[in-house]
Structures are given as structure tokens and as C-alpha cells.
């Protein structure tokens, strides 16, 4: 029995398999622009830490014993149950 280890780089019928050139990676940039961060810092500094109107609304909703409504609670429960059953399959 003879084993021929075919180490040839040629393809079928002796045709060479074309090698594909690997493109060189290109460096996009090695610099960081901080021009927009100063505008963001200014906007953040000028905005309030909280919105008083939304805080008052949240307090009113918390104090309301009928919030959230039973319809809302049912819809959320159905959504959660659906998500749980779909995760278990």
C-alpha cells in the first residue's frame, strides 16, 4: 500500500488556486476631538438636576391609590407572562 501525501498547491487538473490578496488595514485616525464635549458640558451644567414639574407629578401618582389602574396592571402581567413562557421554550 502506498500513501501519497499530496502537498501540492495546485487545484483540480493542475490549475493553481488563486491566492487572494489581504487588504491592508487602514488607520482612520489616532486623534480625539473634544470640541463637542465642551458644548455638552455647558448644556449639562445649565440643565436642572431634576424637573420639579415631573417630581410633583410622580408624587401625585404615588399618593393615588388607584394608580396604576387594574387594566394597566393586567396588561403588564400578561406581557410579563408572555415573555416568561417564550423564554422557556
pLDDT at 10: 58
Residue 4 lies in a domain: no
Instruction: Count up the domains in the chain and report the number.
Output: 1
pLDDT of residue 70: 93
Cis-peptide into 82, omega within 30 deg: no
More confident residue, 3 or 82: 82
Q: How far is Cα 79 from Cα 85, in angstroms, rounded to an integer?
A: 10
Specify if 20 maps to a domain. no
Q: Is residue 39 part of a domain?
A: no
pLDDT of residue 49: 86
Task: Give residue 65's domain range.
Answer: 53-89
CA distance 73 to 82: 14
**H helices within 35-69, ranges in order?**
35-46, 52-63
pLDDT one-digit tens code per residue, 22-80: 777 776 766 766 677 888 888 888 888 889 999 999 999 999 999 999 999 999 999 99
DSSP sequence for 23-36: PPP----S----HH
Amino acid at each position: 500500500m502506498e500513501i501519497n501525501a499530496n502537498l501540492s498547491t495546485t487545484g483540480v487538473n493542475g490549475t493553481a488556486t488563486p491566492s487572494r490578496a489581504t487588504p491592508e488595514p487602514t488607520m482612520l485616525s489616532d486623534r480625539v476631538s473634544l470640541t463637542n464635549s465642551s458644548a455638552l458640558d455647558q448644556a449639562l451644567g445649565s440643565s436642572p438636576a431634576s424637573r420639579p414639574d415631573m417630581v410633583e407629578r410622580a408624587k401625585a401618582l404615588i399618593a393615588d391609590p388607584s394608580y396604576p389602574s387594574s387594566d394597566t396592571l393586567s396588561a403588564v402581567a400578561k406581557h410579563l407572562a408572555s415573555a416568561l413562557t417564550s423564554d422557556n421554550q
